[in-house]
Amino acid sequence: MIPQAFIQDLLARIDIVDIVGRTVKLKKAGANLQGLCPFHNEKSPSFTVSPNKQFYHCFGCGAHGTAVGFLMEHHGLSYVDAIHELAAGLGLAVPQEPGDSPRQNAAQAPPSLLQVLQTASEFYKQRLRETPRAIEYLKSRELTGATAARFGIGYAPAGWRGLESAVPDYADESMVAAGLVVSAEDGKRYDRFRDRIMFPIRNTRGQVIGFGGRILDDGEPKYLNSSEGPLFSKGHELYGLFESREAIRARDLVLVVEGYMDVVGLHQHGVEYAVATLGTATTAAHLTKLLRQASRVVFAFDGDGAGQRAAWRALENSLPMLSDTKRLDFLFLPPAHDPDSFIREHGLAAFEALVSGALPLSNYLVRELCRRVDLGTSEGRARLQAELKPLAKAMPDIALRGQIVLEIAAKAGVDAGELLRYLGIRVAAPPQPAPFRPRGRQDGRGGDRQGGWQGDRQGGGQAGGQGGGEHGGHGVWQGNSRSGGGAAGHPAGRRAGSQDSRQPWSRLPAALRSRAAAPPSLEAQIKLLLAYHPPLARQDLTLEFLPEPLVQWRDRIAALPVGSNFAVLLEGLRIEAPDEAAGLAATDLRNPGLMGELTLEQAQQEYDDALRRLKLENIKAEIGDLARQGLETMAHRTRYNELMAATRELSGGVESC
């Protein structure tokens, strides 16, 4: 059995966005990401991934779960295999509890995909040594044996089942999942890569996660990548990043080229900070990874029409990732040259000069837009502004966007303010603090103390301030105050335990309001806040007047490893307390995206307010019990005074009973 502590630590370290994003094209949608559900056919996206909760959910088919669940449901892995694959992605060995038999575990589990890929890599390297024809091709490209060894270059033989002799079980499903073998409809299997120079694709930890193969002679496709799978997605990976990482850090610069041979050739000639996309346009995932490595990224493209089109696609994909502290540049090579051929013909110094003089993104954008229009006519200048509009809207609100707008305004001969109005963009106003609202008074006028997150009043007065409640705090959960207020002239909010009518949750996005069920009880709110935001459980807390089950729940979450999230808690409960796990998952699904999207600061405010209201409810219930008994004993009267004092303290000094 895998230790629970290891699973908790593993889930705290992975990012479900990376796991799901290898299969599903995700786009930002508020605090979450959204895409087409991989579990059912749909045309409009209903599948969401929450980075905060580390959880996915489809509102169309109901599929939901953590990263472990996604690998199990979408890739058909067992629970143990899913844990092994997630651990392998982080370079971690999965420990076993004392008493388990490693031999039995190894016999029950299929070979790790990483092990299968490494075995294939060794096989291809050995076949290269035995194939003079493949060696001659590499020599014709002026590659040395040392360079080939550094990049692990190999050769896939021309036979249909060459890998069969290299692996223990050619029929194992891991061969297909690893992208090495194709399974035909008639059940026959054959090698995906045949008669190709093989380039291992490594992750940032140096593990082989896929391959790129170049046909040795004439044939199509010229380049072939591994199929998409649990470990490999061409929209997320970069060839040569592992080999380049030290040079990139040293230069604070990364060069992005288009082919495997470009990377290998540049490295051999001293440009060791080069990486390549894998036959696809540069994606947001690529840029995120690149900008973590260096503050300057240079895209190198051929100078022909295809290179220009690829460069513009890279620019468009880059716009949402722009930053005033990062720089994206574009390098266009002379006609009839790619990076490898240029550096072989002109040398390192000439190539480095091209990199140094690369065109900044802003200059390239302005130059390209102006090239497309006739600036000598009003129509051309109007089109220039129209061409800029979608690009400017895609950029974040940064100083660079303002500089680009100023340049285009000058080119178009219009005032910058006029252009900004046309573009429909403006500098975001800083967030304003919540206005102070006085607490309700006993005469029924005035409003409640406002809860943590801005929202509609729940227990407060309505229609001119009449009917105000006293502790019906309001936040995420509209209409949930148990001591909430009533309509005008009805001071129902002053009675402890009265339930107000369900009001619209006006602060929530319409899509969530239409799906969300009635808000949970105060105790359930607190449990969800703790589940979504575990740091809250580690704070000092006065436990008096809180129910014991809630205290036990808080202690359970406080015991989780630092950095834990909702997914860590849920997977732990699935093993230790399946019924509790099912209950928590059901509560989460009934209330999608509400408290899980709060920042920690917002959650803190909601948590403090919910605790205060829950304590007041319990105090009032005890006061009611004592009053019904007549306060006949000194002990009862003493306890009554203690409870009244606690009520005043929690109510901010206003007596509320």
Chunk the chain into consecutive blocks of 10 residues (it has 657) and report each block's average pLDDT, rounded to whole numbers: 81 88 88 87 87 85 84 71 83 70 38 86 96 95 94 96 93 91 91 96 86 90 90 90 88 93 95 94 87 90 87 94 93 91 94 96 97 96 97 93 95 94 70 42 37 36 36 42 37 36 36 46 83 84 80 84 77 76 74 64 84 86 84 85 84 48
What is the pLDDT, as a whole number, of residue 592? 52
What is the pLDDT, as a whole number, of residue 280? 86
646 and 530 share one domain = yes
What is the pLDDT, as a whole number, of residue 524? 82
| Stated pTM of the model | 0.54
- Report the 10 Å Cβ neighbour count for 497: 10
What is the pLDDT, as a whole number, of residue 460? 37
- Name the nearest CA neighbour of 295 among 341, 260, 327: 327
Beta strand pairing call for 296-301 and 253-257? parallel
CATH of the domain at 376: 1.20.50
What is the pLDDT, as a whole number, of residue 20? 92
551 and 602 share one domain = yes
Residue 602's Cβ-count burial label (10 Å; 0-12, 13-18, 19+) is: middle
What is the pLDDT, as a whole number, of residue 518? 52
What is the pLDDT, as a whole number, of residue 421? 92
606 within domain boundaries: yes
33 within domain boundaries: yes
Query: Of 398, 423, 448, which residue is a domain's last?
Result: 423
What is the pLDDT, as a whole number, of residue 382? 96
539 within domain boundaries: yes
| Residue 518 identity | A
Token pair belonging to 6: 């290891």
What is the pLDDT, as a whole number, of residue 206? 83
Residue 128's Cβ-count burial label (10 Å; 0-12, 13-18, 19+) is: buried
- Report the 10 Å Cβ neighbour count for 187: 6
528 and 638 share one domain = yes
CATH of the domain at 587: 1.10.860
CATH of the domain at 142: 3.90.980.10
Query: Of 216, 232, 248, which residue is a domain's last?
Result: 232
What is the pLDDT, as a whole number, of residue 245? 83
Q: In what order do the strands lie in the sheet with 196-202?
A: 154-156, 196-202, 208-215, 223-225
655 within domain boundaries: no
User: In sequence order, which residues have a C-beta less than 8 Å from that of residue 370 and are 6 or more positions away?
Assistant: 384, 411
State CA 606 to chain mean position distance. Answer: 24
Token pair belonging to 459: 């227990």
What are 522-525's contacts with CB under 8 Å, separation 24+? 522/480, 522/482, 522/610, 522/613, 522/614, 522/617, 523/547, 523/549, 523/550, 523/614, 524/587, 525/477, 525/480, 525/595, 525/606, 525/610
490 within domain boundaries: no
503 within domain boundaries: no
Distance CA 472, CA 458 (A): 6
CATH of the domain at 34: 3.90.580.10
602 and 630 share one domain = yes
Structural domain including 534 reads: 518-650
529 and 622 share one domain = yes
Distance CA 214, CA 523 (A): 61
71 and 178 share one domain = no
120 within domain boundaries: yes
Query: Of 232, 257, 284, which residue is a domain's last?
Result: 232
Domain count, the chain: 4
327 within domain boundaries: no
DSSP one-letter code for 56: E
